[in-house]
Amino acid sequence: MKATAKTYLSLFLTFLKIGLFTFGGGYAMIALIEDEVVNKRKWISKEELTDVVTIAESTPGPIAINSSTYIGYKIGGVFGSFLATLAVVIPSFVIIFAISFFYEAFMSVEIVKWAFFGIKCAVGLIILRTGIKMLKSFPRRPLAIICFSLAFVGILLIDIFAVRFSSVYFILAGAVIGVLTYVIAVSRDKKRLNSTNSEGAQTINESNSTTSEGAQAINESNSKNSEGAQAVSDETETPKTETANGENDGKTLKTETEEGGKR
């Protein structure tokens, strides 16, 4: 889509709002991104947002920044990507920079501690809500369900037994499984296509053979008809010849009789 100055301004203000009113990091930000970018402005679809989150999680950097960079690029190209990334970073940078000057005094205030405690609970619910909404858009295919179940159980066991294991390996394993599934599917489709083409070629050859046999039968029939017509023509010409010969004989006889009378 061709971006205008109004589009750039809307893009900047949207991601500035997302960066300003989101607490709890990138995962909590996904819900607000979906509400602003998918539901209100219709810049991307829910399926695209799921892909954006997957790509953002698989690449280096915070998920919020990666997501805003991708969406900004889709809406406004390189400049749109720059504006969206800048807008989502500015609020956090300014607030953290300001708090750093009086952090200890700020966190020692009792009401601030309880406020952050409530924010943590709310953030947990927001992340849970986002996960449930993404799960609803999850593809209902056997392989996808198996991969999701294995990853979920694996991460749960890792957290329960406090095993040091990076979630990056789950992402890499999912990527490998996805690539292998694609290769197998393409190979299967090629075999099916070749089989279909072979059957189609065989059917065409059989049809051509049948057509050739039919044409040969028609030619033979035409030949027989031609021979029959020739025979009928010969039979028709024979009486005519005999009649003509009879007429000639009659004329000869008449001539001879006339000559005899004259004598």
Q: Are residues 98 and 218 both part of a single domain?
A: no
Task: Please tell me whether residues 9 and 134 are part of one structural domain.
Answer: yes
Above 70 in pLDDT, residue 258?
Answer: no
Residues 119 and 229 reside in one and the same domain: no
Count of domains observed in the chain = 2
- The answer to whether position 43 is within a domain reads yes
Ranges 91-95, 129-133, 158-162: which has the least confidence: 129-133
- Number of neighbouring beta carbons within 10 Å of residue 150: 14
Same domain, 170 and 95: no
Do 115 and 168 share a domain, yes or no?
A: no
The answer to whether position 87 is within a domain reads yes
Same domain, 72 and 113: yes
Rg, C-alpha atoms of the chain: 46
Report the distance separating Cα 63 and Cα 26, nearest Å. Answer: 5
Domain span holding position 215: 160-239
Q: Taking all residues of the chain, what is their mean pLDDT, rounded to a whole number?
A: 79
Q: Check whether residue 11 and residue 124 sit in a common domain.
A: yes
Give the model's confidence band at 203: pLDDT under 50 very low, under 70 low, under 90 confident, else very high.
confident
Q: What was the pLDDT predicted at 239? A: 53
Out of 27-41, 44-58, 66-80, 151-165, give the one with best mean pLDDT.
Answer: 66-80
- Residue 135 burial class via C-beta count within 10 angstroms: exposed 0-12, middle 13-18, buried 19 and up: exposed
Which is more confident, 263 or 10?
Answer: 10
Q: Has residue 226 got a pLDDT over 60?
A: yes
Rounded Cα distance between 19 and 65, Å, is 10
Residue 13: CB partners within 8 Å, gap ≥ 6? 87
pLDDT band of 233, cuts 50, 70, 90: low
Residues 9 and 128 in one domain: yes
| pLDDT number for residue 9 | 93
| pLDDT tens-place string over residues 211-220 | 766 667 676 7
pTM recorded for the entire structure: 0.60
**What does the H/E/C string look like for 20-87?**
HCCCCCHHHHHHHHHHHHHHHCCCCCHHHHHHHHHHHHHCCCCHHHHHHHHHHHHHHHHHHHHHHHHH
The reply to whether 35 and 134 lie within a common domain is yes
Helix axes 26-33 and 63-99, enclosed angle (nearest 10): 110
**Shared-domain flag, residues 24 and 124:** yes
Contact 22, 28 (CB under 8 A): yes
Query: Does any domain span residue 109?
Result: yes
On whether residue 55 sits in a domain, the answer given is yes
